[in-house]
Amino acid sequence: MNILDDLKWRGAINQETDHDGLYELVNDKSVGIYVGIDPTGDSMHIGHLIPFMILKRFQLAGHKPVIVIGGGTGSIGDPSGKNSERVLQTMDQVHHNEQALTKQLTGLFGSDGKFDIVNNYEWLSQLSLLDFLRDYGKLFNVNTMLNKEVVASRLEVGISFTEFTYQILQSIDFLHLYQNNEVQVQLGGADQWGNITAGIDLIHKVEGPNAGVYGLTIPLMLKADGTKFGKTAGGAVWLDADKTTPYEFYQFWLNQDDRDVIKYLKYFTFLTQEEIEDLEEQVKTQPEKRAAQRRLAEEVTAFVHGESAVAEAEHISAALFSGDVANLTAAEIEQGFKNMPTVDVTSEPANIVEWLVDVTGIEPSRRQAREDVSNGAIRINGEKVTDTDATINPADHFDGRFVIVRRGKKKYFLARVK
């Protein structure tokens, strides 16, 4: 199957500059295709993941991915579409972000040499102002640039010359990659259409109208309720395990709406059409089993964090659901209890009633604490405690770092030993 047919089935094609030409190109030979990302932060989030999942599909189909880290473009910032200019970062921060993103992307695309990561700072930083104006500025029509959607949306509130010229710099990237890296296709989100077509126009002016270059964009992804994909109450879902733990990452995918899960399976997994259609049928006939959500969580977590992270996330999930937390490791507790109510305690042993009231504040009064303990409503590290004379020793479990308290059926607290 031609990869474009597969992408169409997955709903992953928004616009193409020349469908027939691109279809023939990718059908006949291995093609260089690139996606760019500016180092505006030191981690990608799952919104960034969308074009890279499509790029990964091209890699698996035998094509050559080229990833551009925008060390040059990222130092000035692209027009965001918002009513404000981006805040310029220091070059030290840009370089730090470049290193972090390179590490993440290498993890996704492998270390076998079947893809390239390049930095546009290498060639953009060599341009003098006069070279920029003479060699490239003369080839861009201001009226055409003003009509690009991302620029036009900013005209009422204003846009700096710096951000206005971003599309020229990105066009230079495409030209450089065409000339030096055998890249013929640029892939990006729907908001990149103007920049992509500007790059194709530049290549045709420099290399001639028959230069075989193409653009492909991906639709803007919205949830079934019309809101933007990838945002949660806690903010963005990051690929960096220190920002969003693998357990949180797994839970994000596990909790997707039935109306969205098949679309996400098509975009974010490498399952076959037959496998996805089978899961779609299960959503219709056995939605309570959430088989599609579970498979989605497994596949995406494994792709980003590895199989061991999936096993760890599932172990944490099962322990929290059953209340059997005694077998969790300290590292798993760090993940699973990250957003649960947390108090700091000392390592000193104490009577359970006093500890629940005076040390942790989990219980509002000693009377309530004694009542809850006596009634079997308190579990410490997974074990029910009914003796009001029992002693809590924070050093007993989890390397002496944590005490897990469950009050009632679902209310968890984490006591962190300092």
**197 is a catalytic site residue:** no
What sign results for the dihedral spanned by CA atoms 98, 309, 231, 336?
negative
**191 is a catalytic site residue:** yes
The active-site residue, picked from 15, 17, 18, 45, is 45
**103 is a catalytic site residue:** no
Angle of helix 246-254 relative to helix 307-322, nearest 10 degrees, comes to 70
Q: Determine how β-strand 383-384 pairs with β-strand 378-380.
A: antiparallel
**170 is a catalytic site residue:** yes
- What 8-state DSSP symbol labels residue 295? H
The active-site residue, picked from 48, 57, 63, 266, is 48
The active-site residue, picked from 10, 86, 305, 379, is 86
**18 is a catalytic site residue:** no
Please say whether the beta carbons of 187 and 51 come within 8 A: yes
Q: Which residues contact 29 (CB under 8 A, 6 or more apart)?
A: none
Q: Output the DSSP codes for 89-144.
A: PPHHHHHHHHHHHHHHHHHHH-SSSSSEEEETHHHHTT--HHHIIIIIGGG--HHH
Q: Output the DSSP codes for 142-175.
A: HHHHHHSHHHHTTTTT---HHHHTHHHHHHHHHH
Q: Has 166 been labeled as part of a binding site? A: yes
**228 is a catalytic site residue:** yes
**232 is a catalytic site residue:** yes
**40 is a catalytic site residue:** yes
**134 is a catalytic site residue:** no
What sign results for the dihedral spanned by CA atoms 36, 38, 43, 48?
negative
Please say whether the beta carbons of 60 and 94 come within 8 A: no
**113 conformational bin, left if phi > 0, alpha if psi -120 to 50, beta if neither:** left
Q: Has 136 been labeled as part of a binding site? A: no
From residue 118, give the alpha-carbon distance in Å to each of 9, 35, 69: 31, 11, 6
Q: Which residues contact 63 (CB under 8 A, 6 or more apart)?
A: 3, 26, 30, 31, 32, 33
The active-site residue, picked from 228, 259, 289, 367, is 228
Residue whose tokens read 């199957």: 1
Please say whether the beta carbons of 214 and 21 come within 8 A: yes
The active-site residue, picked from 6, 18, 116, 191, is 191
Please say whether the beta carbons of 214 and 17 come within 8 A: yes
What tokens does 86 get? 């981006």
Radius of gyration of the chain (CA): 26
End-to-end Cα spacing for the chain:
58
Residue whose tokens read 């399952």: 271
**86 is a catalytic site residue:** yes
Angle of helix 46-60 relative to helix 258-268, nearest 10 degrees, comes to 50
The active-site residue, picked from 162, 232, 346, 386, is 232
Annotated binding residues, as ranges? 34, 166, 170, 231
Q: Which residues are catalytic?
A: 40, 45, 48, 82, 86, 170, 191, 228, 231-232
Annotated binding residues for L-tyrosine, as ranges? 34, 166, 170
Annotated binding residues for ATP, as ranges? 231
